[in-house]
Amino acid sequence: MRVVRRVGGHVITVPFVHGAFDSVFAKDNALYITRRAQTHAMLARPRFSERQMEQAARTRDLTHTGITVEPYSADFEGGDVLVLPGRCAFLGYGFRSSRNAALVVERFLGLPVIPLELVDPALYHLDTALALLADGTALVCDEAFSPVARRGLREVCNVIPVSRDEALRFALNVIEIGDAVVTGTDSAEVNEILESLGKRTVYTPLDEFHRAGGSAACLLAVLDHATVATAATTAMRSTAA
């Protein structure tokens, strides 16, 4: 939280859900969008019971913060949705989210949604296999995607391949705020790419979260996608009591 605030982000928090240890990964619980200064959350419908038990608490917590909560209507998790502000969004499907969720996400965001099939079980969420920057640049682990998904990405984004080894280290699970990219992995490969794009990488060790299957992007949900590239981002972070 200190790092995100230092680079210009505004962070609000929700409580840790005791007994649901993965609830630290606050991105997965819902998808957010801000319209006319009001933030809306569409609750996720996780596939596994360990994540499902969080949702009643999250509904209460988000409502308490003044966020308008909309019920889930398709199987998806927030880690499978990445937004290219003002243009489109991508939905990773195959392990945690259903391809059918694309239409529901599209209606909620008001943007076209491009489904991308994930094929590597070690990279089960989209945000572990793809780092999407606000200018349309995508750092991609090609091995994580089906051939059709790879073509779909290249039709929309400027794709820069990243090795599977670095993706497995969560090097693509990053947060972009203005010209800064917050990462929990000190990856020479990814750092070099980002710096060539005029970004500055801000590293903070997140090894303990890596052991649980996530990193920087998993810990934080963007509430207003339109502000990510231009100013501060408002984020929702789960914290232990």
Domain boundaries, the chain: 2-239
Q: Which residues pair with 33 in a beta bridge?
A: 40
Average pLDDT over residues 207-218: 96
pLDDT above 60 for 234 = no
pLDDT tens digits for range 76-115 = 999 999 999 999 999 999 999 999 999 999 999 999 999 9
Contact criterion met (CB below 8 Å) for 183 and 193: no
- Tokens at residue 108, please? 């909620």
CA distances from 195 to 134, 199, 241 (A): 15, 5, 37
Give the residue-averaged pLDDT of 58-69.
Answer: 93
First to last CA, the chain: 15
Q: Is the pLDDT of residue 241 over 50?
A: no
How high is the pLDDT of residue 26?
A: 92
What global pTM score does this model have?
A: 0.93
Q: Is residue 237 a contact partner of residue 27, using CB atoms and an 8 Å limit?
A: no
pLDDT level of residue 225 (50, 70, 90 thresholds): confident
Pairing relationship of beta strands 200-203 and 220-222 according to DSSP bridges? unpaired
Mean pLDDT, rounded, for 132-154:
97
Average pLDDT value for residue range 190-213: 97
- Domain 2-239 in CATH 3.60.21.10: no
CB 191 within 8 A of CB 184: no
